[in-house]
Amino acid sequence: MFVLVRNGFSVKEFPIALPARTYGSSKMTAREVFRSGSHLFRLRALSLARPSRFRVSRSPALGSNSVGAASIDPELIDPQGWDSYWDKKDRPTAMAYEMIAAIYRVSVIKPRLERAIFENFKDGSRLLHAGCGSGQVDMDLHGRMRITAVDISPSALRVYQRNNPAAFAVQHANVLDLPFPPASFDGIYNLGVFEHFTLDEIQTILEQFHRVLKPGGRVVIFWPHARATSVAVMKGAHWMMNDILKRPVQFYPAEISLLQSRAQASGLLGNAGFRLVDYHFGSRDLFIQAVIAAEKR
């Protein structure tokens, strides 16, 4: 029933045969109550950690050189090793991090992204999610936007397609060299991508964004700030695991270019041909990430 509901079905009736009740006794023991409750709690936790595991793909069967309808480029190399991040994790610490990260994406980042998307783009806009990851934040956007999702990790694309079967297109690609002709999109967005690249690489990515955007198109970027609460929490988690518990753990590829200021964002965007139109990093959003919107000049 849980799998049916997670795939869009509505369970209206579920017949079950129970033995006749004896007066003064219950059909269910305390043990059964605990076991059933534990099972429901486990399903909920697993669904939060990786919702795609309960979704049936509507795309063609996955092969070694394809992700659904998206072809995998065997020459495309991922130096940061994102496949290992998105593949199934069995260690308790990795599973705990995955669940916390999923709750953070859905409860904090997702509503902020939706607000930013609907403020900057009209319904029916063709958008590029550049560095799409699992796509948990995209789930409610497809009814109003035509989203093309790209990522360098085939594992991420598999998860994305299961989470977002209604996506306009999914493609294996590198954000440093986008495989689209000029002026292909009305807008571009990404979340938690820039901090994993050098400043020179970020400049290249922005230039690619500028090339594939239509005149007047916009970019929306969620860029973790150097003083963000999320950054402080993850530094604390790494310190606890690596220095205190002596268990070498790297939850995700290194964040080498955290955003330093509005001026830095404005300068990088300006050098790539954008005009900064909005910048927010403050207490209203608990200092989570800087949200940046810029327009192609």
Using one digit for the tens of pLDDT, what is the confidence trace for 122-142? 999 999 999 999 999 999 999
Residue 242, domain extent: 66-296
CATH number at residue 162: 3.40.50.150
Distance of alpha carbon 294 from alpha carbon 193, whole angstroms:
16
Give the best-scoring range by mean pLDDT among 48-57, 79-88, 93-102, 235-244.
79-88
Q: Does residue 16 belong to any structural domain of this protein? A: no
Round the average pLDDT of the chain to a whole number and report it: 86
Does the pLDDT at position 261 exceed 70?
yes
Q: Does residue 26 belong to any structural domain of this protein? A: no
Distance of alpha carbon 197 from alpha carbon 139, whole angstroms:
26
The predicted structure's pLDDT at residue 98? 72
Of the candidate ranges 48-57, 63-72, 185-194, 218-227, the one whose mean pLDDT is the lowest: 63-72
Q: Does residue 17 belong to any structural domain of this protein? A: no
In the structure, what pLDDT confidence band is assigned to residue 105 with cuts at 50, 70 and 90? confident
pLDDT in tens, 148-181: 999 999 999 999 999 999 999 999 999 999 999 9
What residues contact residue 238 under an 8 Å CB cut-off, 6+ apart?
249, 250, 251
Q: Does residue 262 belong to any structural domain of this protein? A: yes
The predicted structure's pLDDT at residue 60? 40
Average pLDDT over residues 73-84: 90
The predicted structure's pLDDT at residue 4? 79
The predicted structure's pLDDT at residue 119? 97
Global pTM value: 0.80
Q: Does residue 15 belong to any structural domain of this protein? A: no
Residue 285's Cα: distance from chain center in Å?
A: 18
Q: How many domains does the chain have?
A: 1
What tokens were used for 172?
């294996």
The predicted structure's pLDDT at residue 234? 76
| Residues 145, 146, 148, 149, CA torsion sign | positive
| Residues 120, 207, 154, 107, CA torsion sign | negative
The predicted structure's pLDDT at residue 57? 56
Of the candidate ranges 139-153, 225-239, 257-271, the one whose mean pLDDT is the lowest: 225-239
Q: Percentage of the chain with pLDDT > 90?
A: 53
Helix (H) or strand (E) holding 275: strand 274-280
Nearest residue to 161 (alpha-carbon basis) of 266, 58, 269:
58
pLDDT in tens, 15-48: 777 666 666 666 667 787 778 888 887 777 666 6
Q: Does residue 175 belong to any structural domain of this protein? A: yes
